[in-house]
Homo-oligomer: A and B are copies of this chain.
């Protein structure tokens, strides 16, 4: 079973998910199926995955063909679904057992139906699966945060080419989410306004970094982007939780995702990328902490981050937390806004 360990000097948890007997030579990348033959996520190969926990189907039985989106537990999970969360200390070190959920959202029955190339209705189905799984896992009181992410391309860490996203439910709120929440909270306490709403307003006033806008969402090139051509998608209306989207918002988020992922293909030459859904941590009222959790609704504003993997992260970045971005966010916005493809 995997375990969670905390660095005693940097406040950072790590999942140690050691597979038994793994040797140094096991780190050569495994060959991937590039066609439906042998792909465990393709329609017709439902018996090659663990049994599904969710699917959008037109009346067909579970774990058979006939689905549009299908969610299954990860066959090699980083965290295990069984067991209670147990914390312990060993001298300077903090330790937890590796309890959590790790699921795969299979985005299409067709091996080659990438999210950038499918009709908006299929993207809505994918987003619906994201919402449904998040809501379901939030009922489990052991989990404090649910992270949905998409790795596209080998350079972004994808180990299967079939279109898919992943979900990990964690027994603690991760540092990046806590940092964002703290910063948003400080701003709200001082100004009684959401920092993300303020940011959106400032960016709309002088739209050098505005890439796309529809009635419900905007896509921005972040002012302090770490990676060339990375973007953030924000809902225009304040909302702390992406599962609260209306049907109209869901359709317009599908539209925004389709816009930017198509742009990546046409303008950037189909780069590998990582996509992360940054929603609020699970609200967990506990005695003495009710204020802390309920104020999240005002402080936090959910968003989606997408980062093409065009540059390598090197020693300077690892050693300092500083990033060097060779493309100005304003130039990146101009490329992604216009038809340079």
Contact = CB atoms under 8 A, between A and B. Distances in A.
A236 interface: no
Nearest to A230: B318
A180 interface: yes
A339 interface: no
B325 A22 contact: no
Given A92-B202, A202-B91, A149 B314 contact: yes
A287 interface: no
Given A27-B311, A157-B315, A195-B92, A174 B321 contact: yes
B223 A156 contact: no
Contacts of A15: 322-325
Copies of this chain, tallied across the complex: 2
Interface stretch (A31-39, A127-135, A238-246, A273-281): A273-281
A24 B269 contact: yes
A9 B271 CA distance: 27
A319 B180 contact: no
Q: How large is the interface on A (under 10, 10 to 19, 20 to 34, 35 or more residues)?
A: 35 or more
A328 B322 CA distance: 28
- Secondary structure at the A interface, as helix, strand, loop or mixed, is mixed
A260 B293 CA distance: 47
A288 to B, nearest CB: 23
Contact of A24 (B78, B268, B319): B268
A150 interface: yes
Given A22-B331, A313-B313, 7 more contacts: A6-B224, A9-B183, A16-B225, A24-B269, A151-B314, A170-B320, A176-B319
B320 A11 contact: no
Contact of A176 (B10, B177, B199, B267): B10
A220 interface: no
